[in-house]
Amino acid sequence: MLPQLVYLLFGLASFTAASNNFHVTVEAQTKHCFVEPLNAGDFLGLSFQVFGGDNLDVDFWITNPDELIIQSAFRTSTGSFSVDAPKTGSYSYCISNLGHAGNTEKFVSFSINGPDEQRRILDKKSGAKDESKDSLAKEVQELTNAIQQVTDEQAYIRLRLLRHHETAESTNSRVLYWTFFEGLIIASVVGFQLVYITQFFQKSNRRMV
């Protein structure tokens, strides 16, 4: 119950922190694909982290309008990608939980920086129509994307540390219980041996008498 609550809180925090952040649950042996329409020259930056589920590994790929894979990562828990669209069309990115590692559902967080985010930045810079200002706006967008990726990585690391802490606490409890159980067994064996040896010598003394 606690890990699922953590996943929910993380997802809500990500959603409220920025409108281009979202999370998705990928069920066992399924995949989710999302479509992003891009014009030639548009920039798309995205990153993802798997923060819940066994193994924490998924497959990820991006396809161009011709449905050809242009970027991919397999059996990974995190990744960052950027695409400069060479042509206009629908680009898609997919997260897959198929194959040997897809026996349980996975919780995935996404951060997207695409044309919509770039347009919002450009709209705030009224009068920035000359080439130098457009170039500066693009650099600002790239810097924003890089900062967002660092923030996502930090959130992912915090979740991993929490998960490892819970695992360590569970392991320590099991070791403590097992040590106590071993102590009881050893004490029982020693007690049995003492009783047996005592009775043996008592019988021997009776025979000698």
CB-based contacts of 77, cutoff 8 Å, min separation 6: 49, 50, 56, 57, 58
Is the pLDDT at 132 greater than 90? The verdict is no
- The Cα–Cα gap between 208 and 21 comes to 89
Say what percent of the chain tops pLDDT 90.
Answer: 22
Range with the lowest mean pLDDT among 4-18, 114-128, 134-148?
Answer: 4-18
> Under CATH, which number does the domain 2-164 receive?
2.60.120.380
User: Domain locations in the chain?
Assistant: 2-164
Q: Mean pLDDT, to the nearest integer, of 182-197? A: 87
Token readout for 162 is 């929490």
User: Is 87's pLDDT higher than 70?
Assistant: yes
Per-residue pLDDT band for 205 (boundaries 50, 70, 90) equals low
Give yes or no for a contact between 32 and 50, defined as CB atoms under 8 angstroms apart: no
